[in-house]
Amino acid sequence: QAAQHLEIAVIPGDGIGPEVITEARKVLDVAAEASGATVAYTEYPLGVQHWLATGETLSEETLQQLRGHDAILFGAVGADPQDTRVPSGLIERELLLKLRFSLDHCVNLRPARTYPGVQTPLVADAPIDFVVVREGTEGPYVGNGGSIRKGTSQEIATEVSLNTAYGVQRVVEDAFVRAQGRSKKLTLVHKHNVLVHAGDLWRRAVEEAAPSYPDVTWDYMHVDAATIHMVTHPGRFDVIVTDNLFGDILTDLAGAVTGGIGLAASGSINATGDAPSMFEPVHGSAPDIAGQGIADPTAAILSAALMLDHLGLSTAAEQIERAVHIQLSQWAAEASGSLSTAQRGDAYVQQLRRVV
Ligand code: NAI
Ligand code: MG
């Protein structure tokens, strides 16, 4: 593999965001170096603290600077719900959602897998290993709605789900390609018996793409049924492709059945590469444990691995995943008690040095 230089923008964010990103960077440095790659980080102090200090969420100037990077590593943002100084959801909408929409992150990639020794709430302990390809720029999340007669008994509120052929087709293509690289099984999840217009568009997008991927078998499942199967037969899934809202809900469930929020990684992918993709743990800023140095950095570290894979350093990405794998089983075998964020990060680094 040719030597590669990576320009990474880092948005540590709030709460445990900076704590887990510190550990992710340690691991990333070792993995990149072993692959002969160099990494330069530029930190952007965005989030609640930045907004409180400056009144700014994400300026055009910062957005332009972010565009100049190969990828963005994101911690978490968001205020303590008790903090009345911050309007609910302001930072999430004006920073996180704005980034995803402005940088055209059409694929929200969320792998779900079990790790040896990591407890899951499921009784049947078959290993789980699937990935959800969630549409990231359309659906009910585009802000297409409004209300009139607000606060009266005649109030009307709409929230229209927007689905374009272009937007659906590109996500479906991405999902087929990912299925080809995995167990070659794709499941479209929607609710096309009730949401007939959008559902039909999604169904046809899959039907029309399928002949180009003859090695991939695909099926369809209603979203409500999918929540059952994810608990009773999660092993049946390989790649799930679904819309923005269903994907949001399903991936929380996927995180829960695979052993928790401390392990769930994600990527917000720009499919054409004309803007940087962004990689972040699924969890938020966890104000309840922030500042105590006890957050689990695994999700952030696995997000960094997704980032390396996306940037073409797939060996480095696999090495991180292997190190996490080995270390998690080791901790389970040792029944090691509570470890600090830094102790976990250091253990992953040590394990990675053995793997590379
Ligand atoms: P959260 O994910 O921050 O926390 C939920 C629960 O999981 C808490 O009990 C927390 O302690 C625990 N937890 C989360 N990550 C953990 C980790 N790495 N290790 C150990 N325990 C962990 O969700 P919550 O409490 O609903 O939201 C807190 C703030 O984060 C809110 O302002 C919310 O809007 C924001 N948020 C931001 C996200 C992002 O930046 N992508 C995503 C989700 C929430
Ligand atoms: Mg969510």
Which tens digits make up the pLDDT trace of 133-168?
999 999 998 889 999 999 999 999 999 999 999 999
Our answer to whether residue 252 is catalytic in this structure is yes
For residue range 274-289, list pLDDT tens digits in order.
Answer: 999 999 999 999 999 9
Q: Is 96 in the pocket of ligand 1 (CB under 6 A)?
A: yes
124 band by pLDDT with thresholds 50, 70 and 90: low
Is 78 near ligand 1, meaning CB less than 6 Å away? yes
For ligand 2, the distance from its centroid to the CA atom of residue 244, given in whole angstroms, is 10
Separation of 152 CA from ligand 1 center, angstroms? 35
> How far is ligand 2, taken at its centre, from the CA of residue 289, in Å?
19
Class of domain 1-119+263-356: alpha beta
Residue 280: nearest ligand to its CA?
A: 1
Q: Give the pLDDT score at 337.
A: 73
**Has 191 been annotated as catalytic?**
yes
Amino acid at 198: A
141 is known as an active-site residue = yes
On the 0-12 / 13-18 / 19+ scale of CB atoms within 10 A, 62 is middle
- Fold assignment, 139-258: Rossmann fold (3.40.50)
ipTM over 0.90: yes
Q: What is the pLDDT of residues 11-60, one digit of tens each?
A: 999 999 999 999 999 999 999 999 999 999 999 999 999 999 999 999 99
Q: State if residue 178 touches ligand 1 by the CB under 6 angstroms criterion.
A: no
How confident is residue 332, by pLDDT bands cut at 50, 70 and 90? confident
Taking the domains of the chain in order of start, what are their residue ranges? 1-119+263-356, 139-258
* Percentage of residues of the chain with pLDDT beyond 90: 88
277 vs 241: CA distance, rounded Å:
19
What ligand has the least distance to the C-alpha of 251?
2
What 3 state SS string does the chain have? CCCCEEEEEEEEECCCHHHHHHHHHHHHHHHHHHCCCEEEEEECCCCHHHHHHHCCCCCHHHHHHHHCCCEEEEEECCCCCCCCCCCCCHHHHHHHHHHHHHCCCCEEEEEEECCCCCCCCCCCCCCCEEEEEEECCCEHHHCCEEEECCCCCCCEEEECCECCHHHHHHHHHHHHHHHHCCCCEEEEEECCCCCHHHHHHHHHHHHHHHHHCCCCEEEEEEHHHHHHHHHHCHHHCCEEEECHHHHHHHHHHHHHHCCCCCCCEEEEECCCCCCCEEEEECCCCCCCCCCCCCCCCHHHHHHHHHHHHHCCCHHHHHHHHHHHHHHHHHHHHHCCCCCCHHHHHHHHHHHHHHHC
Clarify whether 213 is annotated catalytic.
Answer: no
User: pLDDT band at residue 68, thresholds of 50, 70 and 90?
Assistant: very high
Any ligand 1 atom below 6 A from CB of 267: no
Indicate if ligand 1 lies below 6 Å from the C-beta of 79: yes
User: Which residue among the candidates 14, 44, 174, 191 is catalytic per the annotation?
Assistant: 191
Catalytic, 296? Answer no
Q: What is the pTM of this model?
A: 0.93
Pocket flag, ligand 1, residue 299 (CB < 6 Å): yes
